[in-house]
Amino acid sequence: MLSLGFDIGGTTVKAGVLDEELKLIVKESRETPKQDAEALCDMIKQMADELSGGAKEFRCIGVTVPGSVDKDGGIIDAWNIGLRNVPLKRMIESRIKAERVIVKNDADAACDAELHFGVLRGVKYGLMLTLGTGVGGSIIFDGKLFHGGREQGTELGHAMINRGGDLCGCGHRGCIETLCSASALKRLAQKACEEKRGMIWSLASNGADPDAKLLIDCAMQGDEYAQELFEGYTDVLADAIASFVNILDPEVIVIGGGVSGAGDFLLDKLRVKVPPRTFFGSCGRILKASAGNDAGVLGAVI
Amino acid sequence: MLSLGFDIGGTTVKAGVLDEELKLIVKESRETPKQDAEALCDMIKQMADELSGGAKEFRCIGVTVPGSVDKDGGIIDAWNIGLRNVPLKRMIESRIKAERVIVKNDADAACDAELHFGVLRGVKYGLMLTLGTGVGGSIIFDGKLFHGGREQGTELGHAMINRGGDLCGCGHRGCIETLCSASALKRLAQKACEEKRGMIWSLASNGADPDAKLLIDCAMQGDEYAQELFEGYTDVLADAIASFVNILDPEVIVIGGGVSGAGDFLLDKLRVKVPPRTFFGSCGRILKASAGNDAGVLGAVI
């Protein structure tokens, strides 16, 4: 029997069909319906039908959500897609026949993918930060994904780092997410455009999207202003990671999500900046997530 | 055979003699020698001789340190008492005969005391903050004290909450310790004296020490300015606790250290202020440490 993984992001829903050995055999993306749980579940049902060629039953339907999930697979809060207090697992079970339906936090799914297929295999104490539209985070404790002391998940992106700072989507101020997400990099790129400065502005005026990727590309190509903005970004990110090191001191720190696409250009800076900012003067290994773009789809069904 | 617990603080060393059932039978305090590990160990040896009535051997010598401790019982960094990279356990073993010598972080000792004798008994996921000269912190994971992923302890007081803020004793800026310690409250009391405002100033001009306790006493007695300062303090402390809730979501949050002496006057404010500041809109139970002033001495020998 086939399994299906759905990775619901702030912008797109990625779906994947997996065979008995959890190998990804078909993929597709669609736009995420916002603030409408019924429409989301209907789309999941439709994609399951189409991608599986009309299978009547599945081994597992796994769905990741960009927000907090309770132990019954209900969404507590996923402000990114405008859903709150939605019994998502039950709604999917009423539409699709499957041996197991799993609903989990997207960062947890990415972390599960690393634990099973990637750089967290065999790690006892680890931390993973997923730098995308928001900042997701997961904790590996005793070799297993930690779901929070009250089983509501962990929200590392909403640890406070900058008291009294910018308003976060969660309604509070100064969360790590406000400064370390891909959206924070995008705001920096937009600032460069407003100021009409550097390569970011000149490429954007020629039609390029002023987003995180453009900023990183310009910095990699040696543009001074883009490099300055990226240094500022990695300074905050290093502070955030150092803060987690002081709290948990993980053996391995994994960076995932869109921003991790910058690879060693990002990671080498963190490897230099994080250790002196910690209480201990050192930190565990800093690694890039290895499951890539399919992490959510793979991790959803584990 | 007797056991001896030594609780080394920034100001005083508290020592206690414990019988076979770990009941505290004798106590004494002396001034902490600073920046001198030899003097500290000599004093421990002398107190052991005197308090035990000249016992030749002990069941356990337990020592708590206000700083980070490595897995061999060496001090990594205890800036409060001016010691860094000191093989404290070995130095004590060379002076005193005991079946076991234990050197541990002071917050961990306080937490061990709560786990064995106090409010953390039976708790699976807990967090304890010790609000004293500095801010110590411990994490209970799966019913046990967590020593950090690389066995260097956990330094919750040095999680960053106020990026770019005041310089902390650890050398970094914006640590929770800079805003939530008893020393932070003392600085507020001193500010009131400089400004010549309210009951704090009038009592201090009559000889009272302008410290955390004076500020809390004045606030409890209804002095408006002291209450305003204490509200500001509890706002930051609530932010710090909410941040830990977002990361770990413990079932129980224990407040210990000198500031916890304020009891429900402090805790009731936290119980109101913390939940709305969390991502989840709720938090675990907030309790006062129950082992009191002897927590360090008791927890040292466990």
Of A139, A165, A246, Cβ closest to residue B159: A246
Stretches where chain A sits below pLDDT 50 are: none
Q: Would A302 be classed as within a structural domain?
A: no
What pLDDT, in 10s, does the model give residues B250-259? Answer: 999 999 989 9
Of A154, A161, A165, Cβ closest to residue B248: A154
Q: Would A79 be classed as within a structural domain?
A: yes
- Residue B223, pLDDT > 90, answer yes
CB-CB contact of B288 with B263 (8 Å): yes
Maximum Cα–Cα distance for chain A, whole Å? 56
Considering its fold, how many domains does chain A have in total?
A: 2
What is the Cα–Cα distance from A302 to A217, expressed in whole angstroms?
A: 34
Interface A-B, measured as beta-carbon pairs within 8 A, has a size of 133
Q: Would B302 be classed as within a structural domain?
A: no
Beta bridge partners of B136: B130
| pLDDT on residue A107 | 86
Q: Would A263 be classed as within a structural domain?
A: yes
What is the identity of the amino acid at B98?
Answer: A
What is the Cα–Cα distance from A208 to A258, expressed in whole angstroms?
A: 17
- At residue B112, the 3 state secondary structure works out as helix
Helix axes A212-220, A198-205, angle to 10 degrees: 120
**What does the block give as tokens for B93?**
């073993």
CB-CB contact of B259 with B132 (8 Å): yes
Q: Mean pLDDT over all residues of chain B?
A: 95
Choose the mutation target among A77, A79, A163 for the interface with B, i.e. most B CBs under 10 Å. Answer: A163
What is the Cα–Cα distance from A87 to A107, expressed in whole angstroms?
A: 19
Chain B residue set in contact with A, beta carbons under 8 Å: 68, 76-77, 124-126, 137, 139, 141-142, 148-150, 152-156, 158-165, 170, 172, 174, 236, 239-240, 242-244, 246-251, 277, 279-280, 284
Q: Are residue B167 and residue B275 in the same domain, yes or no?
A: yes
Mean pLDDT of B19-25: 91
Share of chain B above pLDDT 70, in %: 100
**What does the DSSP 8-state code read for residue B208?**
-
The torsion angles phi and psi of A146, rounded to 5 degrees, stand at -90, 130
Distance between alpha carbon B257 and the CA centroid of its chain, in Å?
A: 5
Work out the minimum CA distance from A247 to partner chain B, whole angstroms: 5
- At residue A244, the 3 state secondary structure works out as helix
Nearest in space to A102 (alpha carbons), one of A5, A192, A167 = A5
Mean pLDDT of B176-182: 98
Work out the minimum CA distance from A185 to partner chain B, whole angstroms: 18
Q: Are residue B83 and residue B155 in the same domain, yes or no?
A: no
**Cα dihedral: A82, A84, A87, A91 (round 10):** -20
φ/ψ bin of B151: left (φ > 0), alpha (ψ from -120 to 50), beta (otherwise)? left
Domain-ending residue, one of A111, A130, A164: A111
Choose the mutation target among A76, A168, A248 for the interface with B, i.e. most B CBs under 10 Å. Answer: A248
A161 vs B156: CB contact, 8 Å cut-off? Answer: no
Cα dihedral B208, B214, B218, B221 sign? negative
Q: Are residue A243 and residue A264 in the same domain, yes or no?
A: yes
Domain-ending residue, one of A68, A92, A111: A111
CB-CB contact of A70 with A64 (8 Å): no
- Residue B4, pLDDT > 80, answer yes
Q: Are residue B83 and residue B28 in the same domain, yes or no?
A: yes
Contacts of B126 in chain A (CB under 8 A): 149
Residues 6+ apart with CB under 8 A from A116: A298, A299, A302
What is the Cα–Cα distance from A253 to A225, expressed in whole angstroms?
A: 29
What is the identity of the amino acid at B158?
Answer: H
Q: Are residue A150 and residue A179 in the same domain, yes or no?
A: yes
Place of tokens 């020698």: B33
Query: Residue B51: which domain range?
Result: 3-111
Q: Are residue B240 and residue B94 in the same domain, yes or no?
A: no
Q: Would A300 be classed as within a structural domain?
A: no
Contacts of B240 in chain A (CB under 8 A): 160
B243 vs A159: CB contact, 8 Å cut-off? Answer: yes
- Burial of residue A93 (CB within 10 Å: 0-12, 13-18, 19+) is middle
What is the Cα–Cα distance from A110 to A98, expressed in whole angstroms?
A: 22
What is the Cα–Cα distance from A107 to A30, expressed in whole angstroms?
A: 20
Q: Are residue B44 and residue B86 in the same domain, yes or no?
A: yes
Of B142, B155, B247, Cβ closest to residue A279: B155
**Between residues B228 and B133, which one has the greater pLDDT?**
B228
What is the Cα–Cα distance from A104 to A115, expressed in whole angstroms?
A: 15
What is the Cα–Cα distance from B262 to B227, expressed in whole angstroms?
A: 13
| Strands, E assignment, A66-212 | 68-69, 75-78, 83-86, 98-105, 126-131, 135-141, 144-145
**What does the block give as tokens for B296?**
């360090």
**What does the block give as tokens for B164?**
């770019």
Nearest in space to B269 (alpha carbons), one of B244, B232, B296 = B232
Work out the minimum CA distance from A136 to partner chain B, whole angstroms: 11
Per mean pLDDT, which of A70-84, A129-143, B58-72, B210-224 is the most reliable? Answer: B210-224
A149 vs B277: CB contact, 8 Å cut-off? Answer: no
Q: Would A301 be classed as within a structural domain?
A: no
Q: Are residue B287 and residue B207 in the same domain, yes or no?
A: yes
A150 vs B125: CB contact, 8 Å cut-off? Answer: yes
Contacts of A280 in chain B (CB under 8 A): 68, 76-77, 150, 152, 155
Of A77, A170, A249, Cβ closest to residue B149: A249
Q: What's the CA angle centered on A135, arms A130 and A139, to 5 degrees?
A: 60
Give the predicted TM-score (pTM) of the model: 0.88
Q: Are residue A105 and residue A130 in the same domain, yes or no?
A: no
| pLDDT on residue A11 | 86
Searching chain B, which residue's CA lies closest to the CA of residue A250?
B149
Beta bridge partners of B54: none
Contacts of B76 in chain A (CB under 8 A): 280
**What does the block give as tokens for B206?**
């009559």
Beta bridge partners of B19: none
- Residue B292, pLDDT > 80, answer no
Helix axes A182-194, A212-220, angle to 10 degrees: 70
Domain-ending residue, one of A83, A111, A139: A111
B284 vs A150: CB contact, 8 Å cut-off? Answer: yes
Nearest in space to B105 (alpha carbons), one of B80, B83, B78 = B78
B149 vs A126: CB contact, 8 Å cut-off? Answer: yes
A125 vs B150: CB contact, 8 Å cut-off? Answer: yes
- Burial of residue A144 (CB within 10 Å: 0-12, 13-18, 19+) is exposed
Residue A285 sits in a domain whose CATH number is 3.30.420.40
Of B68, B124, B149, Cβ closest to residue A248: B149
Q: Would B282 be classed as within a structural domain?
A: yes
Work out the minimum CA distance from B226 to partner chain A, whole angstroms: 22
Q: State ipTM.
A: 0.88
Q: Are residue B78 and residue B135 in the same domain, yes or no?
A: no
Searching chain B, which residue's CA lies closest to the CA of residue A239?
B160
Q: Are residue A7 and residue A144 in the same domain, yes or no?
A: no
A236 vs B163: CB contact, 8 Å cut-off? Answer: yes
Q: Are residue B270 and residue B133 in the same domain, yes or no?
A: yes
Choose the mutation target among B248, B254, B274, B277 for the interface with A, i.e. most A CBs under 10 Å. Answer: B248
Of A139, A170, A248, Cβ closest to residue B279: A170
A163 vs B239: CB contact, 8 Å cut-off? Answer: yes
Q: Would B149 be classed as within a structural domain?
A: yes
Strands A68-69 and A75-78: antiparallel
- Residue B44, pLDDT > 90, answer yes
Work out the minimum CA distance from B283 to partner chain A, whole angstroms: 9
What is the Cα–Cα distance from B157 to B175, expressed in whole angstroms?
A: 6
